[in-house]
Amino acid sequence: MIAPKCNERPVISFQQVWKTYPNGTDALRNICLTVPDGDFLFLVGASGAGKSSLVRLLIREEKPTHGRLLVHGQDLGGLRRRHLPHFRRQVGLVFQDFKLLPRMTVHENVAFALETLGESRRVIELEVDAALDIVGLAGMARNYPTELSGGEQQRVAIARALVHRPSLVIADEPTGNLDPETAWEITQILSRINAEGVTVLMATHNREIVDAMRRRVVALERGEIIRDHRYGTYDEAPAASALRVY
């Protein structure tokens, strides 16, 4: 286990957080986790381990039952509803099912996030072009999501998550619906974003990618953190088999 560096300002801080659902199930138990600014963290665990519950707490879709959860220094448990939009503008979200709007073009899907914030047309054009450039889709701005492959759709979703320049990106199983090669590409894009200083938290059950990246790994089991390694692998013992280099 590792301890967070004390001199780093944490972006995320779980302080003895519990999440109990109305039916009495403890989805998260006594979670203590600190994610410093600029970190890249894999959140791993089997289905039902608590990954999704943890992500839902992080984007304040739900509140902790006990304990404190701070993101960018804001206590999400006590965050008022009227402050929630402002909080969410500091976070970029990427989902397994992409969540693209099929009736909008690639450009419109990415621009949508900025339109929601009331940005001017000029700013929207500049930022959307920049975000599509980062994910390598500058030439597909006029295409519709249905005309794209799964990997391309996920890249659009990443561009949308980045377009408002968040300091934290939370990716919930972003490679879950992708083939291994595309999954690797998506992870590389997230890694490049992280190299620019953006904190990335990626929930995944993709063993090969976690083992190949050798980044911080937090493993959940039955709602508890069972492992937190700085250069970890998916399993306790590093996988013997080497990952194919793409």
Partner 1 sequence: MKLLRRARYAFTSAWQNFWRNLGVSVAAVVSIALILVLAGISLLLGHALGQVLDTYQQRVSVLTISVADDTPLSAVYDFEYQLRQRPDVVSVRFISKDEELKNFSSDPRNQQLIQQMEGNPLPAKIEVRAAHLDDVKRIDAVARQWRGADRNDPTDYQGDFITNMLRLSTWLTVAGLTLLAILTVISVVIVMNTIRTAVYHRRQEIELMKLVGATEWFVRGPFVVEGVMTGVIAASLAVGLLLAAYRPFVERFQSELFFLPLSYDPRFVPVLAQDLLVAGAVLGAVGGYVSVRRFVRL
202's CB contacts (< 8 A; 6+ apart) are 40, 41, 42, 43, 170, 171, 174, 187, 190
Q: Select from 101, 126, 195, 226 the one that contacts partner 1 (CB under 8 A).
A: 101
**Cβ of residue 82: shortest distance to partner 1, in angstroms?**
8
**Cβ of residue 164: shortest distance to partner 1, in angstroms?**
7
Q: Residue 202, by phi and psi: left (phi above 0), alpha (psi -120 to 50) or beta?
A: beta
| Binding footprint of partner 1, residue count (CB under 8 A) | 22
Pairwise CA distance, residues 223 & 219, whole Å: 10
Pairwise CA distance, residues 86 & 231, whole Å: 33
80's CB contacts (< 8 A; 6+ apart) are none
Rounded (5°) CA angle 51-13-32: 65
Determine the interface stretch with partner 1 among 20-28, 42-50, 112-120, 198-206 (rule: CB under 8 A): 112-120
**Cβ of residue 72: shortest distance to partner 1, in angstroms?**
13
**Cβ of residue 224: shortest distance to partner 1, in angstroms?**
27
Kindly tell me which of 15 and 90 has the beta carbon lying closer to partner 1: 90
Kindly tell me which of 32 and 123 has the beta carbon lying closer to partner 1: 123
Kindly tell me which of 89 and 214 has the beta carbon lying closer to partner 1: 89
**Cβ of residue 63: shortest distance to partner 1, in angstroms?**
12
Binding mask 146-185 for partner 1 (x = CB under 8 A): --------------x---x---------------------
Contact between 144 and partner 1 by CB under 8 A: the answer reads no
34's CB contacts (< 8 A; 6+ apart) are 4, 10, 12, 13, 14
Pairwise CA distance, residues 204 & 154, whole Å: 15
C-alpha radius of gyration, the chain, whole number: 18
Nearest CA to 183 out of 151, 213, 214 is that of: 151
Q: Select from 5, 99, 142, 244 the one that contacts partner 1 (CB under 8 A).
A: 99
Chain positions 114 to 133 lying near partner 1, rule: CB under 8 A, are: 115-120
Q: Select from 93, 156, 220, 225 the one that contacts partner 1 (CB under 8 A).
A: 93
Chain positions 51 to 90 lying near partner 1, rule: CB under 8 A, are: 59, 81-82, 84-89
Q: In the chain, how long is the greatest CA-to-CA distance?
A: 53
Residues forming contacts to partner 1 in the complex (CB under 8 A) are: 59, 81-82, 84-89, 93, 99, 101, 112-113, 115-120, 160, 164
